[in-house]
Structure 1
């Protein structure tokens, strides 16, 4: 039994995974299907039963109104996503997924779990990061730390190839793209710079193929909304086929006619060219911020499922003038790194000599005014903590009043890189009363402190004041309020499943039914008795009894299905 175990969770756009630190190493945890990757898909069946992961993904095409995937892209927004007659925020759908991952890990480990390291795209802003923490809270988890995805992958890679080196982690997942530059020396994994695009991932390549399909068959554009799920599924298959073949074919039956496509590597390159171009800017930005050149890098490390595409690998090779490394499974590297971080949090001796440093993905600052002669123009952004500053960090700036006899200073706090505040993300505000003086005579000290946990504390004090005004930025536009969180907890509790409604139990009953239909005589009666025993166990809601009967039934079914039962 582990003492105070901590999970490492890769909460991905397309797939998610769980890792635990056990016996001095990171161990990837299989879900109830025996698979490491759990599709990040949530849905409801026709009886309003919750389904998560693989069975939900299989219904994305057939039941699009009852299924949601790629909801990670909406984290930190007030967008409502529909499942049948219900509506959910992205945090709530993520919470349902996290709850399932938690249950799978608890079942595997045999003990309760309540704490986790959760990975996020490096370029997630403060609002999006807080949304992830709220999702964890709704799932009954305490997010001890949010770890940047490329940083997590770098941890996993650093332990695999433990020596002094400088490398760039190129992380292209289903919905987000991150770049981090790592300097590893004497047991220190130092993130020198991060950049990325939270609206660029494998999903966008699939959508580009869908647009190409419609351009080839313009008549289908009128039915695009009706056929959206089917077209996307066909595009996904063609994208995967082109990972190992020079062309991919697809066909679709609709309106009494068959529609056909043949996509070549050249055509894929052409329709995805705008996306490939977008991969370059974050790379150049990270190199500039880290003050590295391409020649300084020992390796380029590929992470994320979308880097399996030959098109992406060729683009990376051309961009860097060398072949990238893909030693680790790109779908599992982030989860493995989260598991390593979990071991560090648990203070395991195997990783006690590893030090991880990380950086601010965005600049943080306040709104200031500029004076042009006698004119004052507001709306300008003054960074106090610039992007890619090492964490934790505390920075101070001294400002002056701009009006005669000014009695109050309003600090508006923003995150971003825009010269004007309107181009950045508003995080919050605070006000401080000041004695009336002539313009410019009253100075105000403003201090920003940003922690590893992603909390921003703002302190403000005018010259000569014995007291300091403080605020911790917690409630921002797009973030759930305490009342909303409480309401969501009640809503998610309402859709807890009866054991008979759980997907693994319903699938076992379906297998029993199929076997019953195949058999005759005594064998059929025997399967009927086995099914009845399992149904009675389900109605008892005794989890131990259910598990025992299910294991017995699965063993028998496995032997029947493999033809080994004597």
Structure 2
């Protein structure tokens, strides 16, 4: 029986849900709620303490009733089990107190109801065979983790398991082929979220369980802390004093600060360094044009920018690992989009292979779903059959999971994906596929020394040079990510460009993204002059070979 798996990236600012199944071999799908691939982690309550507005609608109308609008309650959960006391929020009208756990429960319950309506045709999740995996910051203690799991369980999500958010990132990139948990390497993941910055150091060795060497975090180094710094700058622009402000203007300007921060990240990669936004101020009863440029951002956020390395050093110290020992570093999380982040990571690890998740805001949710797919496996499915009758099971999974080579489950999953995609390919693609199949087979029977990955790369290159657009895209991907070949961004761009000129849609999309400078990996390695030169050379190559 196919079991659905739901991954929940419960974020401080935004929450993302992804869905897959134990039999699926495609990438997990993001659950679209209210026409958005995410849910703003915010809600407004009415006078009776029930949810009045939820998600994006509550965020867009936060200024209408700030005293009854609640957000960033995940940060309150981070105080559970510590010396700090939870500070319950209070609605002025109803005079009802809500702890952060209660707010999180209400939020997740409403999200579950929407998922049931949108995905399951209003069928209860309790009637479905489902595994739920919810993430939490790597730095959280056991009580905070269990609070999160129990909260999701009480909200109606069945069979809830937990996973550190950065580990979900590793599982996603293992699935995508950007790395393999069966290769000997030391991986560092920097999950830069809205409320926290989490870093995990993981050691992987062939045919052994990956080992978490160290975890580091910084609770006051997330996107919300940058929003607060920008908020102070915007107050000056508005000529307002925090002591005399209308409460509606407080939340309006805070919302504008986050919006400008996100717009500036996009503008930077499009070659611009200034963004603007217009807000209505209740205190002055007038509109105000707010602006943010790169120098202003860097100045007001300078203390936070300088702290970027704190969770990295913390994780490395706990792992007793030197920076030089890191082979691969990965950036994820919504705040990783900020312009300085990629450069800061490269400066910390100048000699390793590093990359940023293509969509850093979705990678954790997808990775959690993949975690459930590969790690839970038949053991959890078996327990699920009985637990649906006798109650649900919740658990944390502190050990990092791995694909199991001994029973060939890892190989079989990749071969199923292989055959599903092979059916749509042409003659050249089938030849490449057969070579890939032979390579995987030799690995499965322990004969990895009998066939080298370089042979596969050379065969793909041969078909690329014969003019096959799909092979050209394949070789470009390998150059871009350094998969089985020395990473070379210039060479990757050449083959993406040639493949796109021959009409291959995946390459066309990649070229569009690269030209818009959405890929930090790309923008840090190649100039516009280089791109123009490569395109001219590629055009001559196409003409000379009559592709």
Q: TM-score, normalised by structure 1?
A: 0.57
How do 1:391-402 and structure 2 match up within 5 A?
none
**Residue in 1 aligned with 2:276?**
249
2:348 to 319, 335, 342: 319
Distance 1:192 1:359, change over 3 A: farther
Structure 1, unpaired ranges of 5+: 361-566
Aligned residue for 2:198, secondary structure, equals: strand
**Residue in 2 aligned with 1:284?**
313
How do 1:221-370 and structure 2 match up within 5 A?
221-224=242-245, 226=247, 227-243=249-265, 244=267, 245-254=272-281, 255-256=284-285, 259-321=288-350, 324-344=354-374, 346-347=376-377, 358=398
**Residue in 1 aligned with 2:17?**
18
Q: Deviations over 1:436-468 (max 9, x none)?
A: xxxxxxxxxxxxxxxxxxxxxxxxxxxxxxxxx
Structure 2, unpaired ranges of 5+: 382-395, 401-547
- 1:19 and 1:262 map into 2 onto residues whose CA distance is 35
2:175 to 153, 159, 162: 159
Q: Deviations over 1:262-284 (max 9, x none)?
A: 43211211111111222212101
1:175 to 195, 200, 204: 195
Distance 1:263 1:8, change over 3 A: closer
Greater alpha carbon shift after TM alignment, 59-68 vs 215-224: 215-224
Q: How many residues align?
A: 356
**Residue in 1 aligned with 2:143?**
127
**Residue in 1 aligned with 2:504?**
none
Q: CA RMSD in A?
A: 3.2
Do structure 1's residue 66 and structure 2's residue 78 form an aligned pair?
no
Q: CA deviation at 1:214?
A: 2.7
- 1:257 and 1:50 map into 2 onto residues whose CA distance is 28
Distance 1:225 1:143, change over 3 A: farther
Q: CA deviation at 1:105?
A: 3.7
| Higher alpha-carbon Rg | 1
Distance 1:9 1:219, change over 3 A: closer
Contact in 2 for aligned 1:193/1:359 (Cα 8 Å) = no
Do structure 1's residue 91 and structure 2's residue 101 form an aligned pair?
yes
Distance 1:348 1:17, change over 3 A: farther
Distance 1:358 1:191, change over 3 A: farther
Q: Which has the higher strand share?
A: 1
Contact in 1 for aligned 2:163/2:397 (Cα 8 Å) = no
Aligned residue for 2:340, secondary structure, equals: helix
Greater alpha carbon shift after TM alignment, 239-248 vs 75-84: 75-84
**Residue in 1 aligned with 2:36?**
35
- 2:5 and 2:55 map into 1 onto residues whose CA distance is 22
Contact in 2 for aligned 1:92/1:138 (Cα 8 Å) = no
Contact in 1 for aligned 2:40/2:56 (Cα 8 Å) = yes
Aligned residue for 1:287, secondary structure, equals: helix
- 1:109 and 1:298 map into 2 onto residues whose CA distance is 42
- 2:253 and 2:64 map into 1 onto residues whose CA distance is 12
Do structure 1's residue 220 and structure 2's residue 245 form an aligned pair?
no
- 1:312 and 1:10 map into 2 onto residues whose CA distance is 21
Aligned residue for 1:310, secondary structure, equals: coil
Distance 1:334 1:219, change over 3 A: closer
2:113 to 82, 99, 103: 103
Contact in 2 for aligned 1:302/1:326 (Cα 8 Å) = yes
- 1:347 and 1:153 map into 2 onto residues whose CA distance is 19
- 1:278 and 1:49 map into 2 onto residues whose CA distance is 37
Contact in 2 for aligned 1:17/1:101 (Cα 8 Å) = no
- 1:221 and 1:95 map into 2 onto residues whose CA distance is 32
- 1:20 and 1:219 map into 2 onto residues whose CA distance is 45
1:55 to 54, 57, 79: 57
Distance 1:266 1:178, change over 3 A: same
Q: CA deviation at 1:70?
A: 1.1
Distance 1:8 1:333, change over 3 A: same
Distance 1:258 1:61, change over 3 A: closer
Aligned residue for 2:17, secondary structure, equals: strand
- 2:312 and 2:76 map into 1 onto residues whose CA distance is 24
Q: CA deviation at 1:154?
A: 1.4
Contact in 2 for aligned 1:155/1:340 (Cα 8 Å) = yes
- 2:345 and 2:28 map into 1 onto residues whose CA distance is 30
- 2:74 and 2:341 map into 1 onto residues whose CA distance is 22
